[in-house]
Structure 1
Amino acid sequence: MFFVRDVIQHGRKGQFRIVGIHRDAVFLFDLNAVRTVITEHSLEALKSGLGKGKVEFLAGHAFNCRAGHDLSKAQVRRITQRLEQVRDLVVQMPAIFYSPDRGRLVSQASRKFGVSAKTLHKALFQFWHGGMTMDALVPHFERCGAPGKDKPLDTIRGRKPDEGMARAPALTQEMLNAFQRCTDGHYKRNRHVTLAETYNMVLDLLCTRSVTDPETGAPITFVKDPDVAIPTERQFLYWYYKQGRAKSDAKARFGDVRIALRSRARLSYAAQDNPNAGGRFIVDSTKLDVNLVSSTNREIFIGTPTFYIVVDEVTAMIVGFAISLENTSWLAQGVAIFNCLEDKVAFCRRYGIEIAPEDWPVHGMMPIRFLFDRGEARGELATEFARKSGLIVENTSPYRGDLKGICEQRFDLVNETLRPQIPGARDADSGKRGERDPRLNASLNLEEITQVLIHTIIYLNNRVVTGFRQSKAMLAQQVPNIPAAMWNWCLDTGRSALIRFDKDEIGISLLPSGTGSITAQGVCFKGLFYTCERAESEQWFEQVNAAGSQRQISLSYHPWLMDAVYLHVEAGRRPELAVLTPYSQNHAGMSLPEVEQLRLAKRIATQGRQLDQTLLHADYRNQVSHIVQSAVQERIDHLRPRDLKGAREHRALDAASNREDEKERLRLGIAQYDAQSGDPEGGREVQGPPPGDELGDGEAL
């Protein structure tokens, strides 16, 4: 069966559209012709050709025009006019299909509507060729005016200006060169230069000149010609966007990475390779938008704390957090990771908050992977953590904050929830003129903000997350898009990749490692000495010098408190806790930076006394040398072997002589002491030693 608008392939003759069927005649419009060509065929002949395979139907949509939805008012007005003109012609069948009659009908219509016959012939051709609908009559104004071809430079362009305004000048080659020079030399090379500023530079180049004052050396700027033609900013912008260089200039101004980040296709999502809870935990930090005061004195302002958060990628569950006054570091975020393992009921109880286990059902489990943002997790500490724990540590690519968007969203929600409740909170208007400084309203200390954050996290974990992308299984089972509900559903249905860990295992894995030396004073590390029960029972320190004894031992330590270290005695066994020996107790309670600072201060002080010590040593050597040289000069000759005999007798004689000299010095000393003590008799007789007793030799036996 044949119908009007059908498109057929008629053997080798080509493609045709059926534009009319009148009794036994079928009128075919040649789709390959450049002008209107309509042929008449018998309906029976076409049916016969269809049965023999000489005629076949084609898909009409491949030949029909489809207009867009953003037609202008002028296009809609033109379509309405042409449709009204064409409708009066096509209803006059079959005369409109015959060329002589069509010419006569078009002439009549042209006089009726006041348009040329050529315009109506063109409209009929568009109507039949494009599918005999309104879409076929859409005017293509964008093809008019020789697009892409420059107009002559000496022609007057643009609309007529308002009264009193000068007409925009015709662009000269000098102006075009100035446009090119300023955009290449300033706009393209400096991202801080805008197109408006570039236009000002164009005017500077075209209208002004600068010379140097020979007397002062200062530049003198002047207008080179008061009657110079000045291009308008609209002309400059039209020229710039016509060049089609906006994208390449943006890459030169901001870099390929930034442009790719802004304009890349977003066809996937971050968690598409992670279907299970615990498949990946995302860790990130920010400065909390809350100002704090000191815990010891609320009159002391301490600023904003560092807030770490750990979020499960699949369920948006906040599984751990940490808040401190430390700067971002591996150890600071390690507190947040360690919080994932803690029993949340006991953890909240430490801050005076009682919760039920189902309020925050996360404890004792670690994920397969941790995702960081190329900050704290780039270094040896992260490598050691991955090696000791067996977990995978990942880092995002540069400028790919969207890979941890769920974590960034949690930060926004936490701050938005806290701002209306907490005095001293910052917002986008903080610091602007006329706004009160939020720091003046700071009231909470670190412990109190921790309590607030516990309540906030529990609230967000049980709150609906609007716009969250759930998995197909969650949608099928109508799991509410609440983090706690999705977390429990994943655990109940086996969609979990969580790994059970002991707190001590993760705690040791998070700590940095070092090597200590076993000495007689204890295990020496960073200048401090440690001991443990096992070391003392196995006599490590007594046998340190024995052949084959262990001299080095690996250990883990916490730089924030050096009171204890963990000794890795045997692989796979629990580390031994070692504490400071009494010798190093003067460093108890200190952190590693404090210990190193003390040692540095000691070295600096020693270096400052080096000149004095050098002087002291030189004076000592000089004095000794003077005495030795005087004694040597009094000698007649070197001692001979026979002079070495009788040393005992000679020593006894010298000793007796020395005693007499010492006795005399003692008597003089006692007499002076009595005189100074105020004896009314002017002193007393000094009694000699008892018979047989020599002073200094003790009682005679």
Structure 2
Amino acid sequence: MRFEGEHLYKDEIDSKLEKVTLQMSYRICHVSSCREFYAVADMLQAMKVTNPPKPRVFNKTQLAQFIQKQGLKTGEPYDLPETLSISDKALLKDGYGAWLTKRDFKFNHIESLTAPHLVEQYLYGKGLGTEIEGLLLSSTLKWKSKGAYHNALNRFIIFGLVPNALISFKWDSIGKNYPEAETPKDTIIKRGRGGKDNRKSRTQFRGITTLDKKNIAEVVKQWIREGRKLSKRKVFESFQDTFQVATVIRTVGEHDIPYYELLPPEERISRRMFHYHFNRIFSRAEQLEMKVGTFKFKKDHEARQGTALDGIVGASHRYEVDATVLDLYVKYPYIKDARYSMGRPTLYFVIDVYSTMIVGFYLGFGAPNSDGVAQAMVNACMCKVQFAQRYGLFIDECDWPAFFIPREVTIDNGTEYPNKLVASILKSTLGIKAFNFTAVYRGDAKGTVEGTFNTFNGEVAHFQPGSIFKEVDRTEQHPSNQAVWDYNSLVRKIINFIILQNKSAKRLKKLNFEAMVDDIDISPESIFLHSLEEDMDGGRKTTPHDEAMLRWAFLPEEEARVRPNCVFFNGLEYHHPHFREEGLYQVAALEGTFPIIVKRVKDWTNHIFCRVKSKGNGTKLKYLTLTLKNPNNGSPYWGMSWDIVAHQLEWLEMKVVAHEEYAARLRQHIRSMDETEFDRLMGQIALLPENERKSIVPRIKEFQAIGKKLNTLTHARDVMVALGFEGEAVEFESQQELTTTEGF
């Protein structure tokens, strides 16, 4: 059965272009009410012309024969242009309101002819000649020819019987397809603002060319490559200095000085035209990225489509970890008679993705790093009662019931925790099945913890003395002078904030069907505990004995090498009696150095840690603390941060390279002097009779005694000269010459 809107077509595959092209394309644009007749339009023709012809009419038999004869495919609807379904609101928003006026003007003329019975009469009956003649006599309508009515009516019927059929399908490109000159030397088809005769402009600027657009793009890209802040005004000035000036050489005194003169307006584009095409070449997103930088754009402005709940089963399934530098200065508490600040601390939060419950945190100083992540994760997995007591806060286990090991952990793939340092220990020891790394500055991939930072800063930190939630005027006192919270008190405040947030935040959208049936509270803590029992079989709860295992597991693994005299790690030498007692140093001496796995705290070089099997128990493991070798308490690296040590070792390597270069050059210098002296001596020997003696040289002992006597006399002379006996020294010198002569 044929239907209105059906596409009757014949296509062909072009093997060279590798695409399908239509050979024939027809649309059944109308079916009579008795379903015996069909109006069919040739769409290949209709899409090319403004006024398509009247559709061709077939009865059932004729249409079937036509389809069979032409070999047409059937059964699919014809895809009409998008213009037919676009709303008036969209047209007005895009600034094409004039097309609505034109459409309504045409439709008002044919509206009385679009009734269903009149459309059938026009297509299958006697036509609408009488009705159109009556419209021509109307004083309210402007059209005075039958052809105008026929053209509009044909277009209305062919393109879906909707008023938008009277709009040009190219309405959004009208005025944009003008020929564009390649260079300013070509004929400018389109002038600048005001047209060729400048009816609406007081300037004579020329129109844009393809070369101008390329130059605009190149100037902007060069500006960004040089690392300068984007400014449209400055970029235009750079464009003008490069492409819209002429250089004139003028003689001033004895010097030829280049002067720059702007080209006349007829040979330039205007500032407005530059800005217009700048905005067309670079989108608003690209301009913002150029203005704030790629990293900041991706972090703060890029659209975020990720969802944190992908693949989450329940509470403790995935924890998110992230860090931020707080907008709050911390007071230095150890000087009582003045106010000092320790700077702004770094806050690490660990969030359960399923319930958004805050399960752990760590407050430290310095840039985000793996140590902070490790301490935050240990805190997330352990009971918080003893931890809070350490800072003078007494809570019960039920106040913060977060002491479970997660299945997955998600952190930044940045400098905080490099991939290569995370090994299978998390899986084998803790049962953490995945350690996920998100792309740098992908806050959408860690949306839960990012939102918690915003909440803490917005509701707590920004309302405390010493906060920097706004840009500080230079005339105002710097917030660091107003710091009130010291480290311990700030930790207590963070704990109280977490307890309040976990118990009072509303998470209605986090309730699943079972949670609603069980009528639990809508707080993160309630959702967390309910999901643990219902979805995670109670979760994996930790005990105080698990702390060593947790701390070891979350520190990054690194490699050290056992040498005959030490355990060598990152340029430093460490020692533990275990390696001597077990003969491991001896093994290294006889068979060569070998690697071991160690872990470290990045802020402290004094110790590194490794894990070995206990004596007498092949399965139980113990942890060793290796100490930095510090002979006579003189190690320059004792008690230092690894960042400083790495910098120092790098500096020493550079110093060694520089010293080796100096030594090589000095050796060549000494070689030059030695070879000159050697050549002089060889020249003297060449003048002597040739020596053919095979035995030892005679008189060696005699000449050796003379040499010894000369050394003694020289020493005596130096002593006498030093003690002031110049006369005797001179006399002695003459005696020395005489003795030397007589000796020879």
Normalised-by-shorter TM-score class: 0.5 to 0.7
Determine whether 1:506 maps to 2:539: no
| Shift in alpha-carbon separation, 1:488–1:467, aligned structure 2, 3 A | closer
Determine whether 1:82 maps to 2:122: no
The residue aligned with 2:143 is 115
The residue aligned with 1:330 is 370
How far residue 566 of structure 1 moved from its aligned partner, in angstroms, is 6.9
Q: Residues 566 and 576 of structure 1 are in contact (CA less than 8 Å); yes or no, is this contact kept in structure 2?
A: yes
How far residue 48 of structure 1 moved from its aligned partner, in angstroms, is 13
Residue identity opposite 1:460 in structure 2:
Q
Alignment of 1:543-562 (within 5 A): 560=604, 562=606
The residue aligned with 1:166 is 202
Provide, for residues 66-102 of structure 1, a one-character-per-residue CA deviation record: whole Å limited to 9, x for no partner: 2335123333333333332212334584765589863
Alignment of 1:233-382 (within 5 A): 233-237=271-275, 269-297=307-335, 299-378=339-418, 381-382=421-422
| Shift in alpha-carbon separation, 1:545–1:231, aligned structure 2, 3 A | closer
How far residue 453 of structure 1 moved from its aligned partner, in angstroms, is 0.5
CA distance in 1, matches of 2:75, 2:550: 70
The residue aligned with 1:150 is 179
Alignment of 1:430-441 (within 5 A): 430-433=471-474, 435-441=476-482
What is the DSSP-based 3-state SS (H/G/I as helix, E as strand, rest coil) of the residue aligned with 2:85?
coil
Determine whether 1:424 maps to 2:466: yes
The residue aligned with 1:127 is 156
Determine whether 1:136 maps to 2:165: yes
CA distance in 2, matches of 1:437, 1:513: 42
Q: Residues 78 and 139 of structure 1 are in contact (CA less than 8 Å); yes or no, is this contact kept in structure 2?
A: no
Determine whether 1:404 maps to 2:451: no
Please identify, of 396-405 and 56-65, the stretch whose mean Cα deviation from structure 2 is larger.
56-65
Aligned length: 581
CA distance in 1, matches of 2:558, 2:235: 57
How far residue 282 of structure 1 moved from its aligned partner, in angstroms, is 2.0
What is the DSSP-based 3-state SS (H/G/I as helix, E as strand, rest coil) of the residue aligned with 2:527?
helix
| Shift in alpha-carbon separation, 1:549–1:556, aligned structure 2, 3 A | farther
CA distance in 2, matches of 1:263, 1:445: 34
The residue aligned with 2:90 is 70
Residue identity opposite 2:323 in structure 1:
S
How far residue 406 of structure 1 moved from its aligned partner, in angstroms, is 1.6
| Shift in alpha-carbon separation, 1:515–1:358, aligned structure 2, 3 A | same
The residue aligned with 1:638 is none
Sequence identity of aligned pairs in percent? Answer: 15
Provide, for residues 184-217 of structure 1, a one-character-per-residue CA deviation record: whole Å limited to 9, x for no partner: 4311333345555444344335553335666797
| Shift in alpha-carbon separation, 1:31–1:440, aligned structure 2, 3 A | same
How far residue 495 of structure 1 moved from its aligned partner, in angstroms, is 3.1
Residue identity opposite 1:376 in structure 2:
E
**Larger Rg over CA atoms:** 1
Alignment of 1:567-582 (within 5 A): 568-570=612-614, 572-575=619-622
In structure 2, list runs of 5 or more residues that go unmatched: 10-23, 47-51, 181-186, 653-703, 710-744
Residue identity opposite 2:40 in structure 1:
D
| Shift in alpha-carbon separation, 1:199–1:19, aligned structure 2, 3 A | farther
What is the DSSP-based 3-state SS (H/G/I as helix, E as strand, rest coil) of the residue aligned with 2:354?
coil
Q: Residues 293 and 445 of structure 1 are in contact (CA less than 8 Å); yes or no, is this contact kept in structure 2?
A: yes
Provide, for residues 211-243 of structure 1, a one-character-per-residue CA deviation record: whole Å limited to 9, x for no partner: 56667979643425566554323434555677x
| Shift in alpha-carbon separation, 1:248–1:294, aligned structure 2, 3 A | closer
The residue aligned with 1:30 is 40
CA distance in 1, matches of 2:166, 2:640: 81
Q: Residues 530 and 564 of structure 1 are in contact (CA less than 8 Å); yes or no, is this contact kept in structure 2?
A: no
The residue aligned with 2:15 is none
What is the DSSP-based 3-state SS (H/G/I as helix, E as strand, rest coil) of the residue aligned with 2:359?
strand
Q: Residues 559 and 598 of structure 2 are in contact (CA less than 8 Å); yes or no, is this contact kept in structure 1?
A: yes
CA distance in 2, matches of 1:412, 1:443: 21
The residue aligned with 2:222 is 189
In structure 1, list runs of 5 or more residues that go unmatched: 605-628, 635-701
Q: Residues 306 and 444 of structure 2 are in contact (CA less than 8 Å); yes or no, is this contact kept in structure 1?
A: no
| Shift in alpha-carbon separation, 1:156–1:505, aligned structure 2, 3 A | closer
Determine whether 1:395 maps to 2:424: no
What is the DSSP-based 3-state SS (H/G/I as helix, E as strand, rest coil) of the residue aligned with 1:568?
strand
CA distance in 1, matches of 2:516, 2:209: 60
Residue identity opposite 2:240 in structure 1:
L
Residue identity opposite 1:87 in structure 2:
E
CA distance in 2, matches of 1:116, 1:202: 55
Q: Residues 6 and 57 of structure 1 are in contact (CA less than 8 Å); yes or no, is this contact kept in structure 2?
A: no
| Shift in alpha-carbon separation, 1:554–1:197, aligned structure 2, 3 A | closer
Q: Residues 410 and 436 of structure 2 are in contact (CA less than 8 Å); yes or no, is this contact kept in structure 1?
A: yes
What is the DSSP-based 3-state SS (H/G/I as helix, E as strand, rest coil) of the residue aligned with 2:161?
coil
TM-score (norm 2): 0.62
Please identify, of 360-369 and 475-484, the stretch whose mean Cα deviation from structure 2 is larger.
475-484
CA distance in 2, matches of 1:486, 1:218: 82
What is the DSSP-based 3-state SS (H/G/I as helix, E as strand, rest coil) of the residue aligned with 1:275?
coil
TM-score (norm 1): 0.65
| Shift in alpha-carbon separation, 1:389–1:104, aligned structure 2, 3 A | same
Residue identity opposite 1:153 in structure 2:
I
Q: Residues 424 and 439 of structure 1 are in contact (CA less than 8 Å); yes or no, is this contact kept in structure 2?
A: yes
Alignment of 1:84-99 (within 5 A): 84-90=108-114, 93=118, 96-97=122-123
Q: Residues 312 and 318 of structure 1 are in contact (CA less than 8 Å); yes or no, is this contact kept in structure 2?
A: yes
CA distance in 2, matches of 1:507, 1:74: 71
How far residue 307 of structure 1 moved from its aligned partner, in angstroms, is 1.3
Q: Residues 348 and 355 of structure 1 are in contact (CA less than 8 Å); yes or no, is this contact kept in structure 2?
A: yes
Determine whether 1:200 maps to 2:244: no
RMSD (Å) for aligned C-alpha atoms: 5.7
What is the DSSP-based 3-state SS (H/G/I as helix, E as strand, rest coil) of the residue aligned with 1:71?
helix
Residue identity opposite 1:179 in structure 2:
D
Residue identity opposite 1:505 in structure 2:
M
CA distance in 2, matches of 1:156, 1:561: 72
How far residue 166 of structure 1 moved from its aligned partner, in angstroms, is 0.9
Q: Residues 187 and 195 of structure 1 are in contact (CA less than 8 Å); yes or no, is this contact kept in structure 2?
A: no
What is the DSSP-based 3-state SS (H/G/I as helix, E as strand, rest coil) of the residue aligned with 1:126?
helix
Q: Residues 372 and 396 of structure 1 are in contact (CA less than 8 Å); yes or no, is this contact kept in structure 2?
A: yes
How far residue 337 of structure 1 moved from its aligned partner, in angstroms, is 1.6
CA distance in 1, matches of 2:55, 2:200: 58
CA distance in 2, matches of 1:156, 1:302: 64
Please identify, of 340-349 and 441-450, the stretch whose mean Cα deviation from structure 2 is larger.
340-349
Residue identity opposite 2:407 in structure 1:
P
| Shift in alpha-carbon separation, 1:549–1:116, aligned structure 2, 3 A | same
How far residue 362 of structure 1 moved from its aligned partner, in angstroms, is 0.8
CA distance in 2, matches of 1:379, 1:447: 33
| Shift in alpha-carbon separation, 1:262–1:584, aligned structure 2, 3 A | closer
How far residue 302 of structure 1 moved from its aligned partner, in angstroms, is 1.4
What is the DSSP-based 3-state SS (H/G/I as helix, E as strand, rest coil) of the residue aligned with 1:309?
strand
CA distance in 1, matches of 2:123, 2:610: 100
Please identify, of 95-104 and 248-257, the stretch whose mean Cα deviation from structure 2 is larger.
248-257
